[in-house]
Amino acid sequence: MMKWLARCPGCGLSRELIQVTPTCPKCGTPLLLLPDLQELRNRVTPDVLANRVAGVWRYRELLPVSRDPVTLGEGGTRLHACRRLGREADLRGLLVKDETKNPTGCFIDRGSTVLVSRIVEEGYQGVYGTVKGNLGASLAAYSARAGVGCAVRVDGPTDPAKLYQMIAYGAAVSPPDGRMEAPERYYNVLNSDPLLVEGEKTISLEVLESLGWEEPDAIVVPVGSGSLMTAVWKGITEARELGLVRSEGVRLYGVRPGEESAVALDLHFPEPDRLDQASEAVRESGGDLITVGDEEMLEASRKLARAEGIFAEPAAASTLAAAERLRVEGEISPSDTVVLIVTGSGLKDPTAAVRELERLHLTDAYVKGERVGRPLGRTKTAILRILTSGKMHGYEIWRRLKGSGVEISLPAVYQHLKSLEEMGAIARVQTVSKNGRSRVVYSITPRGRLLLSTVEG
């Protein structure tokens, strides 16, 4: 096996990697693992890589594993050109690295394949640790594949879908306040583990290769522990040192949730282990760190699904919310090539879908498997039915209601219109002036059509 070094980014301690330990024995900082890039410079070339199967192990010389890997077919995800969404956001070069297509629906599978492969190589009997939901689910899957044990204590509140994955894959799961003994010959994994970083750096290697080894203008990355940002920058700098990159100049932007976020549990780290390294990557690349709110993430998740057919959990869609803000603020331009790392599937955290159903008053009926009767009432249903014939102002809607036998005052109609607008069932599309008076023109939205079809179906 090629010589690797373990280096501490905190105190600078460096030594040959013989057996992996997650943290520096001197200061406790999570380590980084460094391959001998000079040795690899003539062995890892664009032509060599192009003749290999897509996926994490396409870059096997850059990964600290010498035996056959434990794999579920991770990596090799599509770099999706977002034409519709790009037009809406005024970003003609908008691309999504769609990590929702990994085996457990999350980018962390890239790290888990490397971590489990290495610990099996070193003779460990399993993995254990206090971890976030996506990591717990991924480790459980790869441990099952390798035939080794997996014991995890969940790190705070966890999305039920991720908890179910852990249990389904056979992991022993403890609650946040539960007691967990360290099993004998189990590797103690961290959320910021150096082996995870090695696998996750293949994201940026794939992005660069997909772009003909040209760096994009910007890459937007969710920031939890800081490990993914560290990994993305590590992949870029290693590609540069190997002479793979034809042009440099990418800016990295990190996205963090607000402190009180209820929809980005996997990104919530009160004291992120690799935040200093992530911040350094941002500074060196000329980028920035951005905070986005829950509603921004939820709306971004909806946009990705509707415009591009990518169902991302809100934390993963945070990169779109950040890119839209960066465009408005002039930090990125319409002609920039901008890559969003969309890290996990919406099926792992269906918050966005549930909130959408709640907004349409449909949640209970869908959960119970019932047909919705009339959640809107007769008048609101009639207003939506009228608007299917075309856009119109409130007075015309009132006139048509009266003509169909609905006895209602004009002010009451406007109250119904306000309620439907708040639900997202109708939208204001223009204002017209007639006889010195301004009238708002309304149109039914796709949500309104869905609601109407449910009521009438």
**Average pLDDT per consecutive 10 residues, the chain (457 residues; last block may be shorter):** 90 94 94 96 95 97 97 98 93 97 97 98 96 95 98 88 94 87 92 97 98 98 96 98 95 91 83 92 96 89 93 94 93 96 87 59 48 64 92 91 90 87 82 71 83 71
Q: What are phi and psi of 429, to 5 degrees?
A: -115, -20
Say what the pLDDT of residue 359 is.
57
pLDDT at position 372 is 43
**Whose CA is closest to 217, among 187, 251, 190?**
251
Residue 374, pLDDT score: 44
For residue 370, the model assigns a pLDDT of 46
Report the CATH fold assignment for 50-60+73-106+196-353: Rossmann fold (3.40.50)
How far, CA to CA in Å, does 150 sit from each of 123, 143, 197? Answer: 14, 6, 20
CA distance 69 to 213: 26
Tell me the CA distances in angstroms from 426 to 305, 374, 382, 445, 448, one per residue in order: 20, 17, 13, 5, 6
Domains 50-60+73-106+196-353 and 109-192 share a fold: yes
- 290-306 burial: b if 16+ Cβ within 10 Å, else e: bebbbebbbbbbbbbbe
> pLDDT value at position 367?
46
- pLDDT score, position 353: 62
Contact partners, residue 197, CB within 8 Å, separation at least 6: 32, 33, 111, 227, 230, 231, 234
Q: Where are the domains of the chain?
A: 50-60+73-106+196-353, 109-192, 374-456
Q: What is the CATH number of domain 109-192?
A: 3.40.50.1100
Judge contact between 233 and 287, C-beta under 8 A.
no
* Cα 140 from Cα 104, distance rounded (Å): 10
In this prediction, residue 227 carries a pLDDT of 96
Q: What is the Cα gyration radius of the chain? A: 26
Please tell me the CATH code under which domain 374-456 is placed. Answer: 1.10.10.10
Residue 218, phi then psi, degrees to nearest 5: -150, 145
Closest CA to 224 of 324, 298, 311, 156: 156
